[in-house]
Amino acid sequence: MKSEPVVVGIDHVLAMPNQTVDWWGVRNYQARNFMRDQMSVGDKVFFYHSNCPEPGIAGLAEVARRAYPDRMQFEPTSPYYDPKSTPENPRWVNVDVRVVRKTRLVSLAELRRQPQLARMRVLARGNRLSITPVDPAEWQFICEELMGVKA
């Protein structure tokens, strides 16, 4: 799951109650569907910093709450406001994410150098999704080989 560290970075979440944040502002239907249809409480997540000088994985997290309506879609002053979305028929959801641990930054460049990650969705050319599934073998390789933590 990608986040801009100047907006909500891993250090921000570590300072929050229960080290948990609602993952608001996702406005891509495919990314929304991943959250809504595929994420369950306890699912493991890479906390990825994007749109910054050195993008990459900044830590490990987990889904703390299943998908529910993103409050920002109903707030007219929010950049994530959606006038076509209603409380009765919300278009956008978020999940709550809890940081499990901050790790060393595993940079995008380092990820790209790994042949074992050649098919990783987040590394695909032209990928703009903020949320992508991770194959269990990719998860294990990144955790154990690049971060030195048990998967």
Taking the C-alpha atoms of residue 119 and residue 90, their distance in angstroms, rounded to an integer, is 33
The confidence score (pLDDT) of residue 151 equals 82
Beta strands across the sheet bearing 44-49: 2-3, 44-49, 56-69, 93-107, 20-22
Given pLDDT bands bounded at 50, 70 and 90, which one contains residue 128?
confident
SS (H, E, C) 65-131: EEEEECHHHHCCCCCCCCCCCCCCCCCCEEEEEEEEEEEEEEEHHHHHCCHHHCCCHHHCCCCCCCC
Given pLDDT bands bounded at 50, 70 and 90, which one contains residue 126?
confident
CA angle in degrees (0–180, nearest 5) for 34-45-112: 95
Tell me what percent of the residues of the chain surpass a pLDDT of 90: 94
Q: Is the pLDDT of residue 57 over 90?
A: yes
Unique residue bearing structure tokens 């380092």 = 110
Q: What is the mean pLDDT of residues 122-141?
A: 92
> Residue 1, SS3?
coil
Per-domain residue ranges of the chain: 2-147
Q: What is the mean pLDDT of the chain?
A: 96
For residues 10 and 52, the answer to whether their CB atoms sit within 8 Å is no
Handedness of CA 69, 75, 1, 125 (dihedral sign): positive
Tell me what percent of the residues of the chain surpass a pLDDT of 70: 100
Distance from the first to the final alpha carbon of the chain: 17
Q: Quick: pLDDT tens for 76-101.
A: 999 999 999 999 999 999 999 999 99
Domain 2-147's class?
alpha beta
Q: Closest Cα to residue 65, out of 45, 87, 80, 48?
A: 45
Q: Quick: pLDDT tens for 104-117.
A: 999 999 999 999 99
Element at 13 (helix H, strand E): helix 10-14
pTM metric for this prediction: 0.94
Q: Is the pLDDT of residue 9 over 90?
A: yes
Q: What is the mean pLDDT of residues 116-128?
A: 91
The confidence score (pLDDT) of residue 129 equals 87
Given pLDDT bands bounded at 50, 70 and 90, which one contains residue 125?
confident
